[in-house]
Structure 1
Amino acid sequence: MIGTQDPQSDPVVRLAAVTKLYGGAKNRVTALDNVSIDLHRGTFTAVMGPSGSGKSTFLHCAAGLDKPTSGTVHLDGVDLGPLKERPLTRFRRERIGFIFQAFNLMPSLTVVDNVTLPLRLAGTRPKKAQVNEVLEQVGLSGKRGARPGELSGGQQQRVAIARALVTRPAVIFGDEPTGALDTRTAADVLALLRQAVVVAGQTIVMVTHDPVAASHADRVVFLADGRFVGTLERPTVEQVTDHMTRMGSWSDRFATNEAEDGVRR
């Protein structure tokens, strides 16, 4: 079990012995292999690993977008396993925020309408003060009536961040949130996420391949072949890069050994 900086508090996300298998008996792939981790409130965690290491599967299982083959996922004290699709969708809408690489904004809607979409889908009337607060937080107070096509990539991602923040979720999951941005814009977006953690006590879990992005987190956890293989606290870019380099070599050797043993992953 991988813990976090505050073992005394209840975790907002807990994965216990989570395994996720794909395929049948003859072509089975183990995307996650008995993964356990606690993620606590007010922390920023980056998840890294080589291509095919299980990063996306981890995010999907942790966020209730996919069900594990075995093991349990608790989010904000709720066991996601027994939830049927409709209550699970409602739970995600109310308690989870998402930030994606591709922004996923509605092109025909204004900034305000994109930001408040999760609230309106949940049948909640957006509060003007709440909307104004998140727009100011992400620096878009002057772009309320603009549509995504009138915004830069960085501004569009700020809209996505505001949309994730407006419901005041238990946790925000980011899937390569800076992957489509230039270096300077990415730094601005990461600073916003860092601010959300430090100032607002938000919990963020971010999958990334970028050591610079990962260095903004409180902690980096590393996946290889569906297993956690390391962690760094208060990471630097150099530490993350070095760890990824060494882990890549380890991962290649591990895959070779597994192939020699006749184990298919």
Structure 2
Amino acid sequence: MNWNKDNRTPTSGAVDAVRLGDVRKTYGRGENRVDALRGVTMSFPRGSFTAVMGPSGSGKSTFLHCAAGLDVPSSGSVMLDGKELSGMNENQLTILRRERVGFIFQAFNLMPALTVEQNVGLPFRLAGRRPDRSSVIEVLGRVGLAERRKHLPSELSGGQQQRVAIARALIMRPAVIFADEPTGALDTQTTIDVLQLLRETVSSGGQTIIMVTHDPVAASAAHRVLFLADGQFIGELEAPTADVVAERMTHLTAWQQNRSPQSAGRGGF
């Protein structure tokens, strides 16, 4: 898929929506110690669409959880929408995630007994507020599902359910949307449709999207791709194509498999 990059948001001089500074995350102790993140420093400008890729065990999920305030780094700093997360308690983090962060997952995570309209309005209820029906209908129109608002999730296709999940992520007008394998359960054409919707969300709504994926086609929809291995970011591509991403991932997987314990922490890709 050859995506049109004309509307790409420049990264130079932009204000960061998310910034990680020397973030480390360690699980266990002694022989059971696992260094999931090894001093990650990275910024994500506002209005940008970034894909994060890496082999299994590279630290992608840990990175996403720390960047989104779902997990606490062992050391280092995380800035999200101008807020330093390390100084926040759990209640403050919950409010920040609810009001300034959207999440999209592979499994949709829709409530089966609620209609499309009710699922999209759920973040309002979790915040103790009455759903703004006009906003719900407006965002459903953006994802092409306004006429399906009274349907249950079981009455929708997989692609339509993911569009509902995207609408739910957008409803509170978050600064950042974290997407974890958002097209992993979709067929090729539906994947392309959903990715186009995510790109439009960035270009028209100004949101920042950080997407973890294993799919080179999905990654090629982003403005840039960051490659993670052994708990470190070790390379990136601007205006990526699926073929180049796939080739880079092949080399990266081999590099991580052949990497010796003595070389940990030195990077190079």
How does the TM-score come out when normalised to structure 1? 0.94
The counterpart of 1:155, out of the listed 152, 155, 160, is 160
Whole-Å separation in 2 of the counterparts to 1:140 and 1:42 = 24
Q: Which residue of 1 is the match for residue 117 of structure 2?
A: 112
Aligned-partner Cα distance in 2 for 1:149–1:253: 45
Q: CA deviation at 1:24?
A: 1.4
Q: Distance in 2 between matches of 1:188 and 1:125?
A: 31
Q: Which residue of 1 aligns with 2:140?
A: 135
Query: Partner residue of 1:209?
Result: 214
Counterpart in the other structure of 1:192: 197
Q: Alpha-carbon deviations, 1:128-148, whole Å to 9, x = none?
A: 321121100101011111111
Are 2:183 and 1:178 aligned? yes
Displacement of 1:262:
10
Separation of aligned partners in 2, 1:38 and 1:97: 18
* RMSD value, Cα: 1.3
Q: Structure 2 counterpart of 1:121, which letter?
A: L
Amino acid at match of 2:139: V
Does the Cα contact within 8 Å between 2:21 and 2:42 map onto a contact in 1? yes
Rounded to whole Å, the distance in 2 between the matches of 1:6 and 1:229 is 19
Structure 2 residue aligned with 1:96 = 101
Q: Say if 1:262 and 1:232 are closer, same or farther in 2 by CA, change over 3 A.
A: closer
Match of 1:86 in 2: 91
Residue 5 of structure 1 and its aligned partner are, at CA, apart by: 4.0
The CA deviation string for residues 181-233 of structure 1, in whole angstroms up to 9 with x for no partner, is: 11111111111001101111111000000000000000000000000110000
- How far the C-alpha of 1:6 sits from its partner, in A, is 2.1
Structure 1, 162-171 or 127-136: larger mean CA deviation:
127-136
> Does the 8 Å CA contact 2:122/2:131 hold for their aligned counterparts?
no
Q: Report how many residues are paired.
A: 256
Q: How far off its partner does 1:87 sit? A: 1.5
d(CA) in 2 for partners of 1:129, 1:41: 26
Tell me if 1:69 matches 2:74: yes
5+ unaligned residues in a row in structure 2: which ranges? 1-8, 265-269
Report the residue type matching 1:150 in the other structure.
E
Structure 1 distance, partners of 2:183, 2:146, is: 22
Q: How far apart are the structure 1 equivalents of 2:48 and 2:143? A: 19
List alignment gaps of at least 5 residues for structure 1. none
Matched, 1:250 2:255: yes
Task: Quote the residue 2:35 is aligned against.
Answer: 30
- Measured in 2, the distance between the counterparts of 1:107 and 1:171 equals 26
Name the aligned partner's letter for residue 226 of structure 1: G
Partner of 1:239: 244
Matches of 1:236 and 1:42, distance apart in 2: 20
3-state SS in 1 of match to 2:86: coil
Q: Could you say what secondary structure the match of 1:162 adopts?
A: helix
For residue 8 of structure 1, what is the aligned residue in structure 2?
13
Sequence identity of aligned pairs in percent? Answer: 62
1:59 pairs with 2:64: yes
Out of 40, 46, 61, which is 2:45 matched to?
Answer: 40
Bigger Cα displacement from structure 2, 123-132 vs 167-176 = 123-132
TM-score normalised to the size of structure 2?
0.92
SS at match of 1:179: coil
Query: How far apart, in 2, do the equivalents of 1:128 and 1:185 lie?
Result: 27
